[in-house]
Homo-oligomer: A and B are copies of this chain.
Amino acid sequence: MARRAVVLLSGGMDSAVCLRVAQRDGFEPWTLSFDYGQRHRAELAAAEAVATACGVPAAHRRVLGLGHVFSGSALTGDRAVALDRAAEEIGADIPATYVPARNIVFLALATAFAEPLGATDLFIGVNTLDYSGYPDCRPTFIAAFTEAVRLGTVGGVSIHTPLAELDKAGIVRLGLSLDVPFAQTLTCYLGSRPACGRCDACQLRRRGFAAAGCADPIAYAQAEP
Contact = CB atoms under 8 A, between A and B. Distances in A.
A211 interface: no
B112 A135 contact: no
A52 interface: no
Given A101-B115, A105-B109, A109-B69, A144 B148 contact: yes
B111 A104 contact: yes
Interface stretch (A16-24, A149-157, A184-192): A149-157
A104 B112 contact: yes
Interface in A112-170: 112-113, 115-116, 135-136, 138, 140-141, 144-145, 147-155
This chain: how many copies in the complex? 2
Contacts of A136: 151-153
A133 B26 CA distance: 34
A103 interface: yes
A152 B145 contact: yes
A140 to B, nearest CB: 5
A65 B67 CA distance: 8
A66 to B, nearest CB: 8
Interface of A: 64-65, 67, 69-72, 90-91, 94, 98, 100-105, 107-109, 111-113, 115-116, 135-136, 138, 140-141, 144-145, 147-155
